[in-house]
Structure 1
Amino acid sequence: MSSPHDFDFFHGEWDVHHRRLSDFLDPDSGWEEFEATNRCWSLFDGAANIDEMTVPGEGWQGLTLRLFDPAARVWSLN
């Protein structure tokens, strides 16, 4: 069973080194590496969790929104 506090360990601001495949559909493609800053916080007494990523060297940002369903006690990625 999950709880609204499952992602509390991730709260804060982090300097992150990422590594990903250049083409995620091609397992033989080369790897790309880049730096980013991640910031994570919760909303609505833990019912929502936002993970924001800023990638200054690449000129883009990303965001993950997690929502907690208290009736089913599960998280969803949105």
Structure 2
Amino acid sequence: MGNLINVEYFYAFENEFSGPIPVEIGKMKLLETLNSMRNNISGPIPSELGNLNNLNDLSLSENQFTGSVPTIFGL
């Protein structure tokens, strides 16, 4: 993901992705939509998502996340 800095929309819905979300996602400054629902993504939700100032649509449900929601989400 580190080389995808100009991506605005990332849809990875129902692709059986597994493992953690790479922290490099925080470099995708133009990202407006991230949809990774219904995969096997595990590990914590990276706080680097807070670096995405243009992000207005985030869908991460139905995965295997661990830990708490980062404080950057105000929850």
The structure showing larger relative contact order (alpha-carbon pairs under 8 Å, at least 6 residues apart) is: 2
TM-score between the two structures when normalised by the length of structure 2: 0.24
Q: Which of the pair is proportionally richer in helix?
A: 2
Q: Which of the pair is proportionally richer in strand?
A: 1
* Structure showing greater Rg: 1
TM-score between the two structures when normalised by the length of structure 1: 0.23
